[in-house]
Structure 1
Amino acid sequence: MLGRWLLPAGVDGAALPLLTGKALRAFADGYMALLLPAYLLALGFGTLDVGILSTATLLGSAFATLAVGSWGHRFHHRRLLLGAALLMLGTGLSFATFSAFWPLLLVAFVGTLNPSSGDVSVFLPLEHARLAESAQGAARTAVFARYSLLGALFAALGALSSGAPEWLNDTLGLGRLEAFRLMFAAYGVVGGVVWLLYQRLPAPAHEAEAVAATPLRESRHVVIRLAALFSVDAFAGGLAINALMTLWFLQRFDLSLTAAGQFFFWSGLLSALSQLIAPRVAQRIGLVNTMVFTHIPASLCLIAAAFVPDVHLAMALLFVRALLSQMDVPVRSAFVMEVVTPGERAAAASYTAVPRSLASAVSPTIGGALFAAGWFAAPLVACGVLKIAYDLALWKAFRRHRPAGHQAP
């Protein structure tokens, strides 16, 4: 029954391992985004160091995604996904082992850690390309909605489990650092399980009627415009990634790690709920309007949260933001697939992800530096203002855009 829900009519069964792998990765990313800053602080690093290491994780993902977009067509997606899963395994085990800054910086750059609230890893364009081939039309929108829903829901469950180190410390007497290291090792184990799942993906010799991948030609102009706009959105989002928001809660309100985990759990559930609502909203008001007119109120809530003196009021505003800010995720994926030709979908998935990763890689260091300087409101305000500017520019550029191949009446 669950498999039938995950795979709506018209979706190839090869999408099931991708959806399951997405859920597992999101769970691991959900707790890792919260534990990463706490672990680094426990190792004796400062807030600026946390920002630098967060930037390294995002910057490394950006370069890996760029490589997939430039040369990935030379290799089958299955091989690349299997390699990425092994890299995830190595990343978790390495972070569980090393304590010095430079080894951690190297692993952060080449590994798969994701300190943000969304998926900016090398897995994203590879999975998007496979999902785009697994369905057509309305079925494609449905499978992307499920992909985003699973990511949001399991990331919320992962955030809730971020209190596990404190439980291990109180219940089993395990030291705080040892408990953190155990969670990083568990992250690596998830990578191993994902590798086993991806073994079920069709091998190159058994691919059936896959759309032939082509470089960007007809859709190059629209992809460049989208990539530029998405980079602004991603840069802004990097100023308020979960790792930095956890740091904000810890330092401004002296919130416990368990309480922060509970907040991000409920926040993630609201984001998951929005994934269910988004397709219906998009059907009524259109893809672009859904992206824009849910984002703007979310950004205003973030700006307001930066100034309120009470933690409960701040959480309430951020809950509203969570309900609205991620509604554009499945809609954006469906929109990219709609405005490019079928043969260019794989390339479009990569080239729209690259600038997002690059842009989001820069801003956590800026956010960490602002926190270190005591300007706790500045990253949140800058994030909100930049996102509103992005929304208005996107609406102006694409509010009348027709799907690829659409003929005017």
Structure 2
Amino acid sequence: MDDVRRVVVGRCIRGFADGFVSVLLAQYLTDLGFSPLRVGAIVTGTLLGSAALTLAFGLRAHRTTLGRLLVWACVLMAATGAGFAATTSFWPLLVIAVVGTMNPSSGDVSVFLPTEQAFIAHRVEGRARTRQYAVYNLGAVLAGAVGALASGLPARLARATGWELTSAQRLGFVLYALAALVILALYRSIPRREPSVEQAAVVAPLGDAVDDTRAPAPRPPALGASRRIVLDLAALFSLDSAGSGFVVTSMLVLWLHLRFDLTASTTAGVFFAAGLLGACSQLLAPVLADRFGMVRTMAFTHMPANVLLALAAFAPSGAVAIALLLVRALFAQMDVPARQAFVMAVVPAHERAAASSITNVPRSLASATTPLIAGALLTRTTFGWPLLIAGTVKFSYDVLLLVLHRNTPEGPVDGVTPAPVPGPAA
């Protein structure tokens, strides 16, 4: 199995685990007796912790091998699952949420993301990256859908055995920890030799061979030539993620339960179907990106999803809300591989890990603040204010992205700057 395939398989396993706990988490915390505000606080904690760890890993990536960082991320993931399984008190859970890797969303906001993205970018060239990222995301979304469906198993186990529901649910976090150990076994096989592919890009100019007979050049900063565009994109992605934080899977599960009294098995089925639909959309992203460009693909596929999300807030019944959310799922994830490939294309090779980290950390920070607000809103009313706010904010991001970057050259690609994307003058 080659290194890229190991990363894709690892992402699939983690996708299953994330899909499982993202649906289970809100149900479990509610069954422990936590208020919506406390549920929102723990979800916020997971996102804040992800932001800090992602930044630390991304800024360290140019000083070590990406394979070594992935191994340490697996160890932390296993410890997070064990911690959630071992305690039921609010404050210890909040601490574990902040320092761990728990993912409250069906997407990926974890420390693994920038490291894996940079790892793939070092080994896949040019526009083929968009297709590889689509495969990377497709497997994760499909596995996440299966994980969401499986999240109803603890409730069935409790009914079949007579166990307390929360005891059965804690087994789900044990499963999360075991998944981390399986991924660790995969990633330990990734070579961690010196110099690595990523280090070669650091110590030699882009496109030059590494000459072992000469002293290595001084290490460049983690982010240099691409600083301006990376910070610009980070600000835009933060706006999108601030909206997404209102509707991470855990908060959508909570809203559907409070508003329409949906059962655990029903919500598991809903997010399984949403995951499958999202996976299908990933296959179209490379085709659209080749035809229309990455930025246009990101914006024009995202807009319908956000309109549907806002409309779901006014749904008169659970069936209508579910229908709108499922149709939204057809469009909501199509921008992801295009966004990942775009960031990797516009920065030099040795800055990819840092660029991915810096564009993802503000996203995590922005999305970390809004689940707490969503929890506070749902404490006062079951109306879908979180969905309406999220749809409006995320649509605004799409418009700004299109206005500011529709003609941004989608390169350099491996040192070659392509022509600007065809379109009207800015």
CA displacement, residues 342-400 of structure 1 (integer Å, 9 cap, x when unaligned):
23222211111111111111111111111111153211111001011100100011111
Aligned to 2:124: 135
Report SS of the residue matched to 1:205. coil
**1:288 offset after TM fit, Å?**
0.9
Q: Is the 8 A contact 1:237 1:360 kept in 2?
A: yes
Report SS of the residue matched to 1:113. coil
Structure 2 distance, partners of 1:393, 1:208, is 36
**1:254 offset after TM fit, Å?**
0.4
Distance 1:139 1:169, change over 3 A: same
Aligned with residue 172 of structure 1, among 161, 169, 175: 161
Q: Is the 8 A contact 1:77 1:126 kept in 2?
A: yes
AA partner of residue 281 (structure 1)? L
**1:211 offset after TM fit, Å?**
4.8
AA partner of residue 152 (structure 1)? V
Aligned to 1:220: 227
Aligned to 1:20: 9
**Where does the alignment leave 5 or more consecutive residues of structure 2 unmatched?**
203-219, 421-426
Q: Is the 8 A contact 1:132 1:346 kept in 2?
A: no
Distance 1:21 1:388, change over 3 A: same
Aligned to 2:385: 378
Q: Is the 8 A contact 2:223 2:355 kept in 1?
A: yes
Aligned with residue 393 of structure 1, among 390, 393, 400: 400
CA displacement, residues 319-361 of structure 1 (integer Å, 9 cap, x when unaligned):
1110001100001001111122223222211111111111111
**After the TM superposition, which parts of structure 1 deviate over 4 Å for at least 4 consecutive aligned residues?**
208-211
| Counterpart check, 1:336 vs 2:343 | yes
Aligned to 1:7: none
Aligned to 2:258: 251
Please identify which structure carries the higher helix content: 1
Q: Is the 8 A contact 1:133 1:211 kept in 2?
A: no
Q: Is the 8 A contact 1:134 1:140 kept in 2?
A: no
Q: How does 1:43-58 map to 2 (within 5 A)?
A: 43-58=32-47
Aligned length: 398
**1:50 offset after TM fit, Å?**
0.2
CA displacement, residues 284-339 of structure 1 (integer Å, 9 cap, x when unaligned):
22211111111111111011110020211111111111000110000100111112
**1:207 offset after TM fit, Å?**
3.2
**Where does the alignment leave 5 or more consecutive residues of structure 1 unmatched?**
4-12
**1:209 offset after TM fit, Å?**
7.8
Q: Is the 8 A contact 1:133 1:210 kept in 2?
A: no
Aligned to 1:308: 315
Aligned to 2:214: none
AA partner of residue 39 (structure 1)? Y
Aligned to 1:354: 361
Structure 2 distance, partners of 1:285, 1:279, is 10
Distance 1:228 1:287, change over 3 A: same
Aligned to 2:206: none
TM-score, normalization by structure 2: 0.90
CA displacement, residues 82-103 of structure 1 (integer Å, 9 cap, x when unaligned):
1111111111111111011111
| Counterpart check, 1:406 vs 2:405 | no
AA partner of residue 268 (structure 1)? G
Distance 1:208 1:70, change over 3 A: closer
Aligned to 2:288: 281
Distance 1:210 1:66, change over 3 A: closer
Structure 2 distance, partners of 1:183, 1:89, is 13
Structure 1 distance, partners of 2:159, 2:99, is 34
Aligned with residue 273 of structure 2, among 266, 280, 286: 266
Aligned to 1:109: 98
Q: Is the 8 A contact 1:48 1:368 kept in 2?
A: yes
AA partner of residue 337 (structure 1)? M
| Counterpart check, 1:76 vs 2:65 | yes
Structure 2 distance, partners of 1:265, 1:408, is 41
Aligned with residue 50 of structure 2, among 52, 61, 82: 61
Structure 2 distance, partners of 1:65, 1:407, is 30
